[in-house]
Amino acid sequence: MRLTAFLPVILLLIHVVNPILQIHPGNVYAGYVQVNEEWIPAKPTNLTFNVGVKDNVLNVTVTLTFNHGGYRIGNVTQEASGSELRGYMDVSMWTGPSVQVITFKNVTYTFTGLKAGEYLFNLYINKDLSGQVKIKIEGNTVTLTTQQIQFTPLLTALTAILLVTVVAVIITAVKIAKSKKPT
């Protein structure tokens, strides 16, 4: 089989993995990457929600996971409207050099005066809905009933890689089976 047969698969894989690596085609030149060193909008690779309540004060802590240290969080605000709680933030990535280590950053949203009941916390990153968590408050106990992350670029990339691997194994198995066929 020729390499050109795998070209569509390779292009699909690059398309899926590119948002995770955050490489921009406009910055790539013949074997090296030209870095424009600027802040650009970005998303974390993962989100985790932790909630706690004490004396009718609800704390929702969002842990953001980044693939390197060159990220910043800004414009952190919140709103409450009935049973909907909203947290907002802007996330930016530095396109210049940064420490190459998995980085975690926490943002805590504090809501006061909430009564017992069920609430929906929506997290918006760069104005896009990025995660939700349903919260049930009973006295001084809080329960997460459901948690949904709206984007999972790492999971998408791993799924694409797994799919390509499975296809390659199937193609190899078929070739081996054909070559062992008695003529």
Strand residues in 84-127 grouped as ranges (E): 84-94, 103-112, 117-125
Neighbour tally for 47: CB within 10 Å: 21
Give the model's pLDDT for residue 63: 95
Distance CA 117, CA 113 (A): 12
- For 9, the token pair is 């698969």
Give the model's pLDDT for residue 154: 55
Angle at 98 (CA atoms; ends 150, 32), nearest 5 degrees: 95
Report whether 110 contacts 58 (CB < 8 A): yes
Q: pLDDT tens digit string along 140-170?
A: 777 777 666 665 555 566 677 777 888 888 8
Measured between alpha carbons, how far is residue 70 from residues 13, 38, 43, 45, 152 in Å? 25, 11, 12, 13, 20
Give the model's pLDDT for residue 131: 92
- Mean pLDDT estimate for the chain: 81
Q: pLDDT tens digit string along 50-108?
A: 998 887 789 999 999 999 999 999 999 999 999 999 999 999 999 999 999 999 999 99
Percent helix, strand and coil across the chain, each rounded to 5?
25, 50, 25
Give the model's pLDDT for residue 27: 47
Of 180 and 44, the one with more pLDDT: 44
Of 174 and 31, the one with more pLDDT: 174
pLDDT(36) > 90: no
